Structure 1
Amino acid sequence: MTRNPGLPFDAAAIEALHVDDSEIERDIAAFTAHPLPEGRERANWLLEAIACMDLTTLAGDDTPERVEQLCARARAPLPPTLLQALGLAPGMLKTGAVCVYHAMIAPALTALAGSDIPVAAVSAGFPAGLSPLSTRIAEVTESAAAGAAEIDIVIQRRHALSGDWRTLYDEVRAFREAAGQAHVKAILATGELGTATRIARASLVCIMAGADFIKTSTGMEKVNATLPAGLVMLRIIRDHATRTGIRIGFKPAGGIASADQALAWLMLVRQELGEEWLTPDLFRFGASRLLDDVERHLEAHVAA
């Protein structure tokens, strides 16, 4: 996974960015009118979805044993008999990462040792982002030092809601520096930002500040990942890649629990960014329940 070096803060570029909400809704309506893949093609895309999942547990009653079980499934997300029926050998399929709170980094690292699956940790006052900045920076520093290869930080939404883009940039830049060699996923909480223009500007600011991924949601807002918000974010990623040659990753998260939802997201990313983005280095699902439904659909495909 490549690192985003970021760009200097550019207020003019941010203020010049305007997105028509109704145009985004029309484009999504046209997109969703297309049928999803079927048959073997559908099965192949669902296997791709598994490879791009961040298996996640973010519960107050998490235990090392629960995290160990999650990591075991990340290493072997499908039963051996189903893998064989799909033409895959044991060990050929794994998830993109395991995402946990800071306290569960150590057991996750132990359980994933030798697997090449990274541990991601939520940080920076997750999920609201309202703790003091020094505390949020310290959280990022400590999680990176504990061995998290990826840090999912959450922005303070009030900066975006009030248009205080410089403060948002400075905070995300501080998280980027605190993360060291770990990759940073910036969570925008798009369901709380209100307009397509605000989502676009927040996306651009986080990319300018050095975020390696932009992520829709914490999964704990009233409105989480939606295709319209995702489309806005994907087009900012595309425009940035066109201008700079730097590829930024994308992670929809929150409420994505069905195979059809996963397929819709995969097709949207393919339409906007191309199939080269559909790898764990550039695309992830924030998922805690999605794998169960994908497995059921793959079992149905094999049985058909």
Structure 2
Amino acid sequence: MPPLFAFPRNPGMALDLDWVMRAKANAPAVDRRVAALPGRRTVKKDWQAAWLCKAVSLIDLTTLAGDDTPGRVRRLCAKARQPVRPDLLEALGMTGLHVGAVCVYHGMVAPAVAALAGSGIPVAAVSTGFPAGLSPFALRLAEIGESVAAGAQEIDIVISRRHVLTGDWQALYDEMAQMRAAGGAAHVKAILATGELGSLTNVARASLVCMMAGADFIKTSTGKEAVNATLPVALVMARAIRDYHDRTGFRVGFKPAGGISKAKDALVYLALMREELGREWCQPDLFRFGASSLLGDIERQLDHHVTGRYSAANRHPMG
């Protein structure tokens, strides 16, 4: 089985508060940049189908519901293994396509690991008192360890938003570093909950601090906030990743999550990553979509590409 991540892992660095405080985001300029993106970069026909297949390979197929059951998770894992109907993949010449990971609560890690055995698809577990991140810190660290012991290869942790809102960057750095250490060999995605951080400048600074503390990915949202992934936030986070790579030589991944449900949205995010970070960041080891309904819409678009007809959503069940 090939390694899950092709690039050296981000080891982190000492907290550089001068760098953090120099980071700022010009909101009007960010808005102008992302407003121009859909019209500047469009793909059609076979190229669009290829981009959509790429998007499928980047999905962290997710179920984070209070009524999750092992049976539901097994069905989702079957969809992860075969995300698009076999006849469509054969027509597209894309047999063997699967999603990037399956993301679940800790209690569903074991069923997911069993269902995905031999597939090469990792299990990601949300952790650290997800989604609010307000449980006692020792319990949050223990939760990471329990999920890793259960077989999770990726851990999606949530930061304490209060550290960002009060400008306590040392506390955020220390928290992130300890969470990274608790994960051991599992790769850690730091969820910033950007809709609750107050400003794009705070998003830029929180992104840098988490990367300095060793985050393997930075992620926009839990999907439970009132405002989740947006293109302005994605641009700010992508440029923070670019600055970090330019300074340290280490690549950190990006995961937009929450509210990305349409194939056309996935294409815009891919275009943004391609333009801001390059082709390397359009691979599963450096980019993921946190989504579930997105896959259904992509499958419908691929069906239309192959047959010329739009099919009903119930012909592309999630599980």
Q: Secondary structure at the match of 2:14?
A: coil
**Residue of structure 2 equivalent to 1:212:** 216
Q: Secondary structure at the match of 2:40?
A: coil
* Separation (CA, whole Å) in 1 of partners of 2:120 and 2:132: 31
**Residue of structure 2 equivalent to 1:63:** 69
- Equivalences for residues 14-33 of structure 1 within 5 A: 14-33=20-39
**Residue of structure 1 equivalent to 2:312:** none
**Residue of structure 2 equivalent to 1:11:** 17
Unaligned runs of 5+ in 2: 309-319
**Residue of structure 2 equivalent to 1:82:** 88
Aligned-pair Cα RMSD in Å: 0.9
**Residue of structure 1 equivalent to 2:200:** 196
**Residue of structure 1 equivalent to 2:229:** 225
**Residue of structure 2 equivalent to 1:280:** 284
1:108 aligns to 2:112 (yes or no): yes
1:159 aligns to 2:163 (yes or no): yes
* Separation (CA, whole Å) in 2 of partners of 1:19 and 1:258: 27
**Residue of structure 2 equivalent to 1:303:** 307
**Residue of structure 2 equivalent to 1:145:** 149
Give the counterpart of 2:138 among 115, 129, 134: 134
Deviation at 1:138, TM superposition (A): 0.8
* Separation (CA, whole Å) in 2 of partners of 1:11 and 1:34: 36
Structure 2 counterpart of 1:148, one-letter code: A
Q: Secondary structure at the match of 2:47?
A: helix
Deviation at 1:225, TM superposition (A): 0.2
* Separation (CA, whole Å) in 2 of partners of 1:144 and 1:174: 15
Question: TM-score normalized by structure 1?
Answer: 0.98
**Residue of structure 1 equivalent to 2:43:** 37
Deviation at 1:13, TM superposition (A): 1.3
* Separation (CA, whole Å) in 1 of partners of 2:103 and 2:37: 30
Question: TM-score normalized by structure 2?
Answer: 0.93
Query: Number of residues paired by the alignment?
Result: 302
Structure 1 counterpart of 2:126, one-letter code: V
- CA deviation digits over 1:84-129, x for unaligned, max 9? 111233xx10100000000001000100000110000000110001
**Residue of structure 1 equivalent to 2:317:** none
Give the counterpart of 2:122 among 113, 118, 121: 118
- CA deviation digits over 1:188-222, x for unaligned, max 9? 01111121110000000000000000000000000
**Residue of structure 2 equivalent to 1:178:** 182
Deviation at 1:35, TM superposition (A): 4.8
Identity %: 61
Q: Which runs of 4+ in 1 moved over 4 A?
A: none
Deviation at 1:9, TM superposition (A): 1.2
* Separation (CA, whole Å) in 2 of partners of 1:259 and 1:229: 19
